[in-house]
Structure 1
Amino acid sequence: MKKFELLAASALVSLYACPAAAQDTSATAPAPQSAPSRSTPSSASQDSSDDIIVTAAKREQSLQDVPISVSVTSQATIERAQIRDLIDLQSVVPSLKVPQLNATGQTNFIIRGFGNGNGNDGIESSVGVFIDGVYRSRTSSALDDLPEIERVEVLRGPQSTLFGKNVSAGAISITTRRPSFAWGGKAEVSIGNYGLINPKATITGPITDTLAFRLSGSVNQRDGYFRNLTTGAKINDRDRASIRADILFEPSSDFSVRVIGDYNLVKEVCCGVTSIFNGPRTLAIGAAGFAISDTTKIFDRNVIFNTDPKNRLQGKGISGEIDWNLGIAKLTSITAYREQVNESNQDIDFTGADVSNNITANKIKTFTQEVRLTSNSDGPFSWLLGGFYQHENVDTGRDIRFGKDIRTFVNGLTGGPGGLIFALESLQRATNPAITPGSYYFTQGQGISDRYKLKQDSYSIFGQADYKITDRLTITGGLAYLNDRKAAVSNVVLNDRFSLLNLENVPGLGVLPFAALPASISGCLLQKGFNPATTAGNVPVNLFGASLGSSLPGPGSAPCPASPAGLNPFGLNALQFFYGNSPAHAPINFPNATESGILKGDKVTYAARAAYNFGVVNAYISYSTGWKAGAFNLSSDSRPPLNGVGRTAAPENVTVYEAGLKARFKGGYFNVAVFKQTIKGFQSNAFTGLGYSLVNAGQQSVKGFEIDAAYKPISWLSLNGAVTYLDPKYDSFTGAACVSYDTVRCPINPLTGLIPNFRNLTGTKPTGIPEWSSSVSAVISHTFSPSVSAYLRGEYDYTSKFQLTDTVPPALNTYGQNNVNASLGFTFEKAKLEAMLWVRNLTKDNQLISAFPTVAQDGSYSGYPNQPRTYGLTLRKAF
């Protein structure tokens, strides 16, 4: 397989096999579009591979002229590749990865191997998403099906100088089509397997001579491709609807006002999770008669949930953009307000037993304002000045509750209904009549409730200037001041009685005579060498704690539980699912006497570039810095400072050295960028099985290169491609989350029965980053008559094998990708009609998207299988 990967990579490079990040340079005319507005460049110019227009530097420039590593995906590519959302976009931009995990709104964007924020509302993404210049502060807010668009730009590397504080790894900028002063529109419908039906429509036209509109809407419905063997329901369905109204007021070519309102609703049964390894605890559930996953059939896409997961995500917003040409400069103002509600209900033990369930919800309100002034000078000097402000309120929380089978699950691990938990309850009842043996610990409804509020204010002031020293040499300098303030409040309530218990000093045990113990326990303790005289003839207060092991010098043997010397066979610490590693065995909410709940930071970032035009080749070198503000760990895994995993993470500081060549030639282009990118204080957010371990890595870096190319050797053949090579490294990371499978760096503490919080990963390769990623596509086109033409598009996406996460053993979660997509289309020019047959994952490539330690089942691991083969028919009519 390694040989195949090397051969594939070499073949891709030799074919100019670089990310299909630009457009299909097909000879076939693009699908008919409505006429452009008076202030918008024509779609024809944008679809030309010789003149791809981008706004990566906040002004319109040719892709080949802008000295930034940027990939551009056109509307033609999006339509022909059946790209329906940003998750699909990664198939044509290899440097972009977009995993979706256990909920519809739990999505993360990663560029050049960097990205975080998934699953924790206190952590903003390192990759910013902008739709028509409006910043979307949470990844889940960008999941709506893509509207009628002009292009999607993926900017690689830190963009803090022009885009603000949360683009330390890159930015995704989506530009939608503006309203037109000529009547037009488009309607399409896609049907496919798994019951897919996806109608979309847009209409645009004038209201008056100075006022135009565009109205767009879509519905996306599909059955799930997983089946829940417990309930019979289909999982991972699609049920989405969106509507968007766009008004353009343009009294002259020098002044325009654009107002956009949108609403989207997602109600889905998502997401499919299957066991990839069943450890002792999962096997105990199976032994109790409940269904568990068959780990030999991971890609049968069957799941075992006792209840079906439910998701509801609602987003709505309004934005206004003013563009005013003042002569010497253009003034742009973008004002936006958005609300998002995200709710989910999930079975988190992923078995047929009702062990535990998780209900999460958040409500996020965001106001943003950007103002910038861009020079109009045709001389050697050009400049841009601007400012950005964001205010956000986040109300988020979760409830984890034990189900009706929790006691059966725990009893199966501790000796049955009359086992250790019953013995503990019986001993405690002798001094506390309120404790009822058999129903005090681990009963339905117990668990934990997390509630958090976060208020955030941030602003930036930025500027950039270009100076042409000669007609060929241009130097660029940029500077930005970023400021961020977050204020958070927690209200965490723990009502899991067993987790609240200090097993090293259980109330009431120390006053009971040793003879009160069941013979099965007292006999084993004596066999292992326990001396009752050390506790004055009474029951040891740490009878069920790991620390008793120091008083048991002998090994356990039949009829006692088998156990090594120095280990307490009756220790129950591992069943304290919440705060078992906290001295207080309970949450400490904030603000409090020592914690203000306020996180403040600011930073000056800058960029410097030099670009030289050799004629057919443009070359550039650049040095840039980026910054991402500090983050709160809004999960019950957070602890007060210096007590385990902290409340917060410090900011990320990014530096990038980059050099690039952009060659333009007849029929195509060839772009290459070589870089070294370093993040100091990378905000690692590892899921450990019950919560998130938010810590700063000392330093993480990546070296690599990216190639983008398009070539049309003959009139009927267009080639596009891209390759990304990444060589990442933890230069310093001493606080990585510990995992049970890494017994060398995470040995069990015999006094607590727990593993340490942290391990040292310095010098190792970060997970989740493939060494090689590539995407190549070819389009063959043919004209049958002046009004009828056809095209055949094929696409191959490749990713070398890599470990998905560092909290799961490498042997269980190392996967690559060999994915083939294709489409066959017919265009009827007179009727302005297009019919397209399409297929994604043609060869049924199987892979895991991600993996994680199974919740509350130490030693077990679960994963997310990818989407199977999907296919269908799209009919598209323009008018």
Structure 2
Amino acid sequence: MKKSIKSVALGATALAAGLTGLAHAQQPDVITVTAQKREQTLQEVPIAVSVVQAETIQNAQIIDALDLQSVVPALRVSQLERSSNTTFIIRGQGNGANNPGIEPSVAVYIDGVFRPRAGSVLSDLMGIERVEVLRGPQSTLFGKNATAGVVSIITESPSFEWGGTGEVTFGNFGATILKGSVTGPLNENVAFSLSGSMNQRDGYYENSGPGGDFNDRDRYAIRGQLLMLPTDNLELRLIADYDEIDEQCCGTDRVTDGAAGPAIRGLLGGQTSQGDFAYRIATDLPNRNQIENSGISLQADWELNDNLTLSSITAFRQYDDFVDYEGDFTDLDILGENIRGLDVSTFTQEFRLTGDWNNRAFFLLGAFYSDEDMTVEDARIYGADSRAYVDILTGGALAMFEAPLGFAPGTFYAEGGGTRFTAEQTDEQFQIFGQMDFNLTDRLVLTAGLAYFETNKSVDFTNVIRTNPFSDLNFVQLGLGSFLQSAGVNPNDPTQVGAFAASQPAIFNAFVNASTTFNSVALGNGGVLVNGVVVDPATGLPLANPLLDFFQLGLQPLGALTPFPNSVEDGQTNDSDWPYTLRLAYDATDRTNVYVSYARGFKASSWNLTPDTRPNTADVAALRAAGELAADNALGLPTVVNTAEALGVAGNQRFARPEITTTLEIGFKTRFSWGSLDVALFDQTIEDFQSSIFQGAGFAVVNAGEQTSQGLEFDSTINPPAIPGLTFTLSGIWMNAEYDSYPGAPVVTGSPEDLADGVANGVGDLSGEDVAGIPEFAGSFGVQYTRDFNGGEAFFRADYQYESEVKLLNNLPDDITRSVNTINASFGVNLDNGLEALLWARNLNEDEYYTSGFPTTLQAGSFSAYPNQPRTYGITLRKQF
């Protein structure tokens, strides 16, 4: 055996201790990564990967995963509505967050263990050795959901030398952060480490309602590890962790104020959130998010001989997420209860066999298994002010329709009415994978990797309680029924309806093929009111269905919900695929290499587990025939469900089909005596991107047909020889992303994209359009200067984050944009006795931009957005021993 694991661990500990004093005086030439599940240098690994080391995390005051994007331009981390609603995006690709059934496209691993939900990685970064951000599809070697890339967080392993740290931070907004760790030997074969953190901060978003200010911090975390070396060739690493979050998040700005705003403020005496980065919000309920996240894992590495190593990672994780949040974004009680509970239990097992074949080839063979059980509990309930709010918007029209439709007075929008459901999903995945590096010559390496995925999901969405008859009404059908009655036709007699349709096809089709603008606004366009119907005085043809005013105002937020499995939908998806990687890498010199690769990534089908889930259009007729279609009042008309489906509004998918990403990449890496440069050019195609977009009254879950992006990325470091201690870093990404095919996309109602087909229904064809939210250029520039003095060293660090201006989302107006120009800075002193002090500021220049946005709930024509975090600053004191 070349060297035992135990001797390597002991030797590494001693070496690390001896080099501590040289950490700044000597710039390391080698950065070790495990991007291919084995140790390699950053220089030799032929993958586009960014590495954030412990020193950068500490000196730049990178507290949690959200802060990583300030130093990795290709990575974006967005937090919306609540703490757990966090999305990781790489190269413009990422999803998940607010819809529990849609898993992320960016896989996050901590110490080799997959984290199934972004909310499980929000605790403070403590005891971190490094963070690796792998860009592009990584499905060949990583078990789940790596179509866009991987964020791999590696923590510090226990040491056989006693040591530890204690840290306290005080900052504005009353911030107090405590961190501590201790490590050392329990005996000659077992070492341990224990680390913990607490992060508390007042909210910076002033709230005039109950529950306190928004965007606060209240987090705790603890992690314990054992490193066991029972024999010279076996290493065991046991990790247990627990973290907890209890916060109010996230505050919003009202960017565009529609007609509902004056009604809320003037006629009902309510308040809405303010705009222009005022950081003020008005609510009647707390926006509470409680998260508990825990897990245990065991990694075993067994050196079978000098050339073979068998590894196993066994893990069990539990994730609980409870949300009680403000859904109407006012201090009125319009939406009374808005609750969601999420329980996710996950077991994963991975085996890997790695080997070196006579120094001519390196191989990795493995298998991965995942078993996940998830329960979603959801309640969307109308509050005490909901009826009054709708009456003001509609002139008291609700009462006019209750009795004729057979409902008791006060039924529509009654306090306590709404939708409650419990959904359960089981997700079982099996993967086998292999990858081999063939050394064709001393400098030329061919890599071939192949994996087989099989994913089976089963959903039970049958526990549904609905006390919400108004949102079940089909105003297209009811409007036609009213008109038919005025014409002497019985709308419940298919024979009479069919005869009228045959004799008056223009009138009939005007109703059946109505758009959302086929409402009473036509009165202002030359129409006249005849028998309750707006008609063209010249032709007598109907111009409008006045009942569509309800839908146009966004007053059907909870549409008809058909439970499943049922006789048509079995609630199951079974997906399989063969992701692969092909790569050729050439070492041009000892310090320069180039590579070209082509990779395919795969993510299985995702179910829409929200109150907005609908049967796929192709299943509606069969459900109607079986009598299982919710709120079916067809009146002999074509197969439609409720008003939204009748108007063709996007979002009637029960589940999204698998997502496939293919990427061609050409890379160049070089190291020189005073710096480094990594460059990657990529051409990426995403087929059936799983999109979940909030439309103001629900989530539109669709597959975006095809999205392509071409770009160039670079990471560079410069250490000017003439100025020892000075380091410059420059990273960036140029990217052009567009939809090659995206019919049926959610867009702004009434926008040019919406009206292109002559129907205003919030659905458009974005084929050929740029993908919103992805800047043409994003970059990060950093500088650090370190100077030794008698008894220690001092350093100054600053970094600048830039993103070019871009439209925020496709379903927001064009003038709601985002651009980033943020400066962070820090100044620190590290003494030889282990004492350290750091003064820091993030967003020092008080840059203002929106992270994301949405059409405001129940307020058609209004749009809201999430402002970025304002300037924060503080002092950190640390003691190492």
TM-score (norm 2): 0.86
1:486 lines up with 2:465 in the alignment: no
1:102 lines up with 2:81 in the alignment: yes
User: 1:426-468: CA deviations, max 9, x gaps?
Assistant: 555xxx5x612xx221121111123211100001111111111
Letter in 1 for 2:343: K
Task: Identify the match of residue 298 of structure 1 among 276, 279, 283.
Answer: 276
Match of 2:788 in 1: 783
Q: Distance in 2 between matches of 1:860 and 1:547?
A: 20
Displacement of 1:231: 4.2
Task: Identify the match of residue 683 of structure 1 among 682, 690, 714.
Answer: 690
Task: Identify the match of residue 821 of structure 2 among 799, 810, 818.
Answer: 818
Which structure has the higher relative contact order (CA within 8 Å, separation 6+)? Answer: 1
Aligned length: 800
Match of 1:435 in 2: 408
Displacement of 1:601: 0.7
Change (3 A) 1:548 1:723: closer
1:397 lines up with 2:377 in the alignment: yes
Match of 1:597 in 2: 571
Q: Distance in 1 between matches of 2:349 and 2:185?
A: 28
Contact 2:749 2:763 in 1 (8 A): no
Q: Distance in 1 between matches of 2:299 and 2:609?
A: 34
Match of 1:309 in 2: 287
Q: How does 1:70-89 map to 2 (within 5 A)?
A: 70-89=49-68
Match of 2:365 in 1: 385
Q: How does 1:451-466 map to 2 (within 5 A)?
A: 451-466=422-437
Displacement of 1:547: 7.9
Match of 1:471 in 2: 442
Contact 2:666 2:680 in 1 (8 A): yes
Match of 2:625 in 1: none
Match of 2:324 in 1: 345
Task: Identify the match of residue 132 of structure 1 among 111, 115, 123.
Answer: 111
Q: Distance in 2 between matches of 1:399 and 1:251?
A: 52
Q: Distance in 1 between matches of 2:485 and 2:741?
A: 53
Task: Identify the match of residue 868 of structure 2 among 861, 866, 869.
Answer: 866
Contact 1:738 1:746 in 2 (8 A): no
Q: How does 1:604-643 map to 2 (within 5 A)?
A: 604-615=578-589, 616-642=591-617
Change (3 A) 1:548 1:206: closer
Contact 1:484 1:601 in 2 (8 A): yes
1:797 lines up with 2:776 in the alignment: no
Displacement of 1:376: 4.2
Compute the RMSD of aligned alpha carbons.
3.0
Displacement of 1:204: 0.4
TM-score (norm 1): 0.86
1:703 lines up with 2:710 in the alignment: yes
Match of 2:30 in 1: 51
User: 1:213-246: CA deviations, max 9, x gaps?
Assistant: 1001000000000001344831110000011110
Contact 1:723 1:772 in 2 (8 A): yes
Match of 1:832 in 2: 834
Contact 2:553 2:858 in 1 (8 A): no
2:719 partner SS: strand
Q: Distance in 2 between matches of 1:749 and 1:285?
A: 32
Displacement of 1:274: 2.1
Contact 1:448 1:494 in 2 (8 A): yes
Q: How does 1:268-667 map to 2 (within 5 A)?
A: 268-293=247-272, 295=274, 297-327=275-305, 328-356=307-335, 357-377=337-357, 379-415=359-395, 419-427=396-404, 432=406, 435-436=408-409, 439-491=410-462, 492-503=464-475, 555-556=527-528, 566-569=543-546, 571-574=548-551, 586-615=560-589, 616-642=591-617, 645-667=652-674
User: 1:87-119: CA deviations, max 9, x gaps?
Assistant: 111110000000000011000000000111121
Deviates most, 144-153 or 127-136: 144-153
Contact 1:49 1:669 in 2 (8 A): no
Q: Distance in 2 between matches of 1:674 and 1:546?
A: 46
Q: Distance in 2 between matches of 1:699 and 1:362?
A: 31
Letter in 2 for 1:629: A
Q: Distance in 1 between matches of 2:475 and 2:534?
A: 21
Displacement of 1:562: 10
Letter in 2 for 1:605: P
Contact 1:726 1:771 in 2 (8 A): yes
Deviates most, 569-578 or 865-874: 569-578
Q: Distance in 2 between matches of 1:58 and 1:512?
A: 69
1:726 lines up with 2:735 in the alignment: yes
Change (3 A) 1:661 1:646: same
2:325 partner SS: strand
Contact 1:50 1:669 in 2 (8 A): no
Structure 2 unaligned regions, length at least 5: 1-7, 487-503, 505-510, 537-541, 621-644, 646-651
1:90 partner SS: helix
User: 1:712-771: CA deviations, max 9, x gaps?
Assistant: 112121111101111111111112124314255248999xxxx44632110000111111
Match of 2:493 in 1: none
Match of 1:267 in 2: 246
Displacement of 1:300: 1.4
Q: Distance in 1 between matches of 2:796 and 2:613?
A: 53
Change (3 A) 1:674 1:253: farther
Change (3 A) 1:698 1:425: closer
Letter in 1 for 2:384: K
Q: Distance in 2 between matches of 1:563 and 1:275?
A: 37
Identity of aligned residues (%): 40
Letter in 2 for 1:809: P
User: 1:283-334: CA deviations, max 9, x gaps?
Assistant: 2212224333465x42110112122211100001100000111113111100
Q: Distance in 1 between matches of 2:705 and 2:403?
A: 49
1:89 partner SS: helix
Q: Distance in 1 between matches of 2:862 and 2:92?
A: 27
Change (3 A) 1:213 1:707: same
Match of 2:497 in 1: none
Q: Distance in 1 between matches of 2:543 and 2:293?
A: 56
1:317 partner SS: strand
Q: Distance in 1 between matches of 2:379 and 2:808?
A: 28
1:341 partner SS: strand
Letter in 2 for 1:444: E
Letter in 2 for 1:701: T
Q: Distance in 1 between matches of 2:398 and 2:115?
A: 49
Match of 1:769 in 2: 774
Q: Distance in 2 between matches of 1:549 and 1:853?
A: 22
Q: Distance in 1 between matches of 2:15 and 2:103?
A: 36
Letter in 2 for 1:617: T
Letter in 1 for 2:87: N
1:727 partner SS: strand
Contact 1:207 1:213 in 2 (8 A): yes
Displacement of 1:687: 1.2
Letter in 2 for 1:816: S
Match of 1:119 in 2: 98
Structure 1 unaligned regions, length at least 5: 1-34, 515-533, 535-540
Change (3 A) 1:746 1:338: farther
